[in-house]
Structure 1
Amino acid sequence: MFAKHVIYKHDNYNMLTVEVQGKTLVVREISDQWGEECHRFLSRPELMNWAERRFTAQDFPDGEEQLKATLQALRSI
């Protein structure tokens, strides 16, 4: 069984989840604009590098505060 973490969920069409599958981290990014994208990472540093490049404060309704919370949630996995 895999551990699944919901990083954020704005509604049923905008969410980010992470599944821990052994050493692999599978990120599912679902948005109403782009549909579902799946990313696989072999390490937490690789995941954080992607997240820090991928997200900006403008991506979130609550801006910088929500960006920091999202990155912290990813770090805690």
Structure 2
Amino acid sequence: MEIWLFIVIIVVTLLVGGALGFYFSQRYTKKYLAENPPMTEKMVRAMFSQMGRKPSEKQVRQVMASMNLQK
């Protein structure tokens, strides 16, 4: 086998493997975050209460909406 063909096959294999790895890891991460959000409404309420405030439902929804926009 020619040496240049061997090198081309290795480079192409590495590029395809890297692209597939990136795609599947990104897909897995998005799925995981959708199933297990980093912050829930309960956590927002707890955060407000630790600051000594009683949040209204509107405030909780605003915080959750801003968190969803950050994604």
What's the TM-score bracket when you normalise by the shorter of the two chains? 0.3 to 0.5
Greater gyration radius: 2
TM-score (norm. length: structure 1): 0.31
TM-score (norm. length: structure 2): 0.32
